[in-house]
Amino acid sequence: MMEDWVSKAQTGQVYLPEGYSLFLKACGPARTKSDAPVVVLVHGLGGSASEWLDVQRVVSDFARVYLYERSGYQGSDPSPNDPTPQSIAAELRALLQAAAIAPPYLLVGHSYGGVIVRQFLADYASTVSGMVLVDSVPVVNKFPTVWTKLLGNASYAEVVGLRANLSVNEKDYDSIEHESELNEQPGGIAERELGFIVPGNQRLYQYLQERQALGSGRLCVIWCDEARDFRRVYEHGVRHGYGTSDEQEIVRAHLETMSMDEEVAQRTQLALSSTARFVRAEGVRATHNVHMVDPSWVAQQIRWVFDGVERNLSAAT
């Protein structure tokens, strides 16, 4: 079976019926029961599987956990299909089937990865037993693109404090950053994905909310208050005189209500399940890149969902 092959090889390319392959990495103990949940990690827009290796390592202590690269990202082939949320969810389903990884799935989606796992829930609800949404707003609110002008010659990672608080070493992070640069280059996969998010995202979310799509399956919503990251960028720009006064004002005005708006939006996602909790990241964890700052803490939230899924399965038998 393919799952046995993945278990032994840990990493490899899995070919989909359409003829292209995706990178897949597996860790953790093999299932002891056919209905035991497996964890599937879905990275964000422009991100990479490499960002999630530390989280995968911690989760592998208690669960079978899979990490993959979407089509068009480093390590995976491009897809012949447009990267819509629907096609990406279908691609993930095809990958899991091709690798003989049967449900139930505990899906973890970071940022735009949350859009994908919500789409997967809408299309394949019977296969999903739990979900963790990591700083993923239900409706994408694009931050004004002029914010990059306020960085000057500094990097985002330096300005928001990510480099100072990384759980990975500098060499590994340099590799992660390089992969992101390739994914985010003009006309690249991140830009293409972004172009297909709206307007269907709002309709999708309303559809899921009205049906409490996860039922009693556990849901953990992690809010990291990304406005804190952008506030550091704004303060850096003002302090050093980067960006025009108009560009600084555009960023400042957006930040006025960003935290409040995002918290309200994040909390509405609790309606997707009757067994849900909201977790707010504090201190150094309060960054959109929490998975690279404190992977063990993120894994704890995944564990809460995993344990609940296991208890439900035990009660059912």
Q: pLDDT higher for 99 or 2?
A: 99
Query: Per the structure, how many domains does the chain have?
Result: 1
Range of the domain at 90: 2-143+185-225+256-309
Given this model, what pLDDT does residue 223 score?
A: 97
Per the domain annotation, does 150 fall within a domain? Answer: no
CA distance 303 to 300: 5
Flag whether 249 is in a domain. Answer: no
Confidence grade of residue 297 (pLDDT, cut at 50, 70, 90) = very high
Instruction: Give the angle 158-161-164 at the CA atoms, nearest 5°.
Output: 90
pLDDT tens string 110-132: 999 999 999 999 999 999 999 99
Give the pLDDT band of residue 313 (cuts 50, 70, 90). Answer: low
Q: Write down the pLDDT at residue 2.
A: 45
Per the domain annotation, does 46 fall within a domain? yes
In the numeric block, which tokens belong to residue 312? Answer: 């439900």
Sequential DSSP letters for 125-161? GGGEEEEEEES--SS--PPPGGGGGGGTTS-HHHHTT
Q: Does the residue 37 lie in any domain?
A: yes
Q: How far apart are CA 271 and CA 73, in angstroms?
A: 32
Mean pLDDT of the chain, nearest integer: 91
Q: In this model, does residue 137 exceed pLDDT 70?
A: yes
Share of the chain above pLDDT 90, in %: 81
Q: Which pLDDT belongs to residue 316?
A: 65
| Mean pLDDT, range 258-278, rounded to an integer | 93
Name the residue with higher pLDDT: 208 or 110: 110
Average pLDDT over residues 207-223: 90
Residues ≥6 apart with Cβ < 8 Å to 306: 37, 39, 62, 63, 106, 130
Q: How do residues 231-247 score in pLDDT, each as one tens digit? A: 999 999 999 999 999 99
Is residue 197 in a domain? yes
Q: Which helix (H) or strand (E) holds 294?
A: none
Count Cα neighbours of 73 within 13 Å in the Cβ-side half-sphere.
Answer: 23
237 close to 149: Cβ distance less than 8 angstroms: yes
The reply to whether 243 falls in a domain is no
In this structure, what is the dihedral angle of CA atoms 292, 310, 138, 97, given to the nearest 10 degrees?
90
Distances (CA, A) of 278 to 24, 135, 248, 281, 315: 30, 11, 32, 10, 25
> Which CATH number fits the domain that encloses residue 211?
3.40.50.1820
The predicted-structure confidence for 180-200, as pLDDT tens digits, reads as follows: 999 999 999 999 998 888 766
The predicted model gives 34-41 an average pLDDT of 93
User: How many other CB atoms are found less than 10 A from the CB of residue 285?
Assistant: 19
- On whether residue 112 sits in a domain, the answer given is yes
pLDDT band for 9, please (50, 70, 90 cuts): very low
- If one compares 169 and 179, the residue with the highest pLDDT of the two is 179
Does some domain include residue 270?
yes
Q: Kindly indicate the confidence band of residue 317, based on its pLDDT and cuts at 50, 70 and 90.
A: low
Q: Which residue has the higher pLDDT, 129 or 310?
A: 129
